[in-house]
Chains A and B, each alone.
Chain A
Amino acid sequence: MYTTELQKQPSRPVAESKAEKEPQELVDAFEARVAADEFIEPKDWMPAAYRRTLVRQISQHAHSEIVGMLPEGNWICRAPSLRRKAVLLAKVQDEGGHGLYLYAAAETLGTSREEMIEALHAGKAKYSTIFNYPTLTWADIGAIGWLVDGAAIMNQVPLQRTSYGPYARAMVRVCKEESFHQRQGFEIMMAMANGTPEQKEMAQDALNRWWWPSLMMFGPPDDESPNTAQSMRWRIKRDTNDELRQHFVDVTVPQAEALGLSVPDPKLKFNDKTGHYEFGEIDWSEFWNVVKGEGPVAKERMSARVKAWDEGAWVRDAAAAHAAKQHAAKQAAE
Chain B
Amino acid sequence: MSNEWPLWEVFIRTKGGLSHRHAGSVRAPDAELALRHARDTYTRRLEGVSLWVVPSAQIVASDPSQGGPLFEPAESKIYRHPTFYHVPDSVKHL
Interface residues of A (CB under 8 A from B): 41, 43-45, 90, 93-94, 97, 100-101, 104, 107, 112-114, 169-170, 173, 177, 316-317, 319-323, 326
Chain B nearest CB: distance from A211 CB in Å?
A: 31
* Contact pick for A322, options B24, B30, B41, B63, CB 8 Å: B30
Interface set, chain B 1-36, CB cutoff 8 A to A: 2-5, 7, 23-27, 29-30, 33
B25–A107 touching, CB < 8 Å: yes
Residue numbers in A under 8 Å from B7 (CB-CB): 104, 107
B26–A100 touching, CB < 8 Å: yes
A43–B64 touching, CB < 8 Å: yes
* Contact pick for A113, options B4, B41, B64, CB 8 Å: B4
* Contact pick for A319, options B2, B30, B44, CB 8 Å: B30
6 nearest CB pairs, A to B: A319-B29, A320-B3, A104-B25, A323-B30, A323-B29, A114-B4
* Contact pick for A112, options B3, B4, B61, CB 8 Å: B4
A319–B33 touching, CB < 8 Å: yes
A316–B5 touching, CB < 8 Å: yes
**Is B65 on the interface with A (CB-CB < 8 A)?**
yes
Chain A nearest CB: distance from B67 CB in Å?
A: 9
A101–B24 touching, CB < 8 Å: yes
| Total B residues in contact with A, Cβ cutoff 8 Å | 20
User: What number of residue pairs across chains A and B have CB atoms under 8 A from each other?
Assistant: 50
A316–B25 touching, CB < 8 Å: no
Which residue of chain B has its CB nearest to the CB of A93?
B44
* In the bound complex, CA of A322 to CA of B65 (Å): 40
A320–B29 touching, CB < 8 Å: yes
* Contact pick for B41, options A44, A97, A112, A321, CB 8 Å: A97
Residue numbers in A under 8 Å from B61 (CB-CB): 43
**Is B80 on the interface with A (CB-CB < 8 A)?**
no
A316–B3 touching, CB < 8 Å: yes
* In the bound complex, CA of A101 to CA of B61 (Å): 21
Residue numbers in B under 8 Å from A100 (CB-CB): 24, 26, 41
* Contact pick for B27, options A94, A101, A113, A170, CB 8 Å: A113
Residue numbers in A under 8 Å from B64 (CB-CB): 41, 43-45
A170–B24 touching, CB < 8 Å: yes
15 residue pairs of the A-B complex, CB under 8 angstroms, read A43-B64, A45-B65, A104-B7, A112-B4, A113-B4, A114-B4, A170-B24, A316-B4, A316-B29, A317-B3, A319-B33, A320-B5, A320-B29, A322-B30, A323-B30
* In the bound complex, CA of A97 to CA of B33 (Å): 16
**Is B93 on the interface with A (CB-CB < 8 A)?**
no
* In the bound complex, CA of A170 to CA of B42 (Å): 11
Chain A nearest CB: distance from B41 CB in Å?
A: 6
Interface set, chain B 35-90, CB cutoff 8 A to A: 41, 44-45, 61, 63-65
* In the bound complex, CA of A90 to CA of B64 (Å): 39
A177–B45 touching, CB < 8 Å: yes
* In the bound complex, CA of A94 to CA of B44 (Å): 9
Chain A nearest CB: distance from B8 CB in Å?
A: 10
Residue numbers in B under 8 Å from A316 (CB-CB): 3-5, 29
* In the bound complex, CA of A236 to CA of B26 (Å): 24
* In the bound complex, CA of A322 to CA of B30 (Å): 9
Chain A nearest CB: distance from B69 CB in Å?
A: 16
Residue numbers in A under 8 Å from B45 (CB-CB): 177
* In the bound complex, CA of A90 to CA of B44 (Å): 9
Residue numbers in B under 8 Å from A317 (CB-CB): 3
Residue numbers in B under 8 Å from A173 (CB-CB): 23-24
Chain B nearest CB: distance from A61 CB in Å?
A: 15
Residue numbers in B under 8 Å from A45 (CB-CB): 64-65
Residue numbers in A under 8 Å from B3 (CB-CB): 316-317, 320-321
Chain A nearest CB: distance from B46 CB in Å?
A: 13
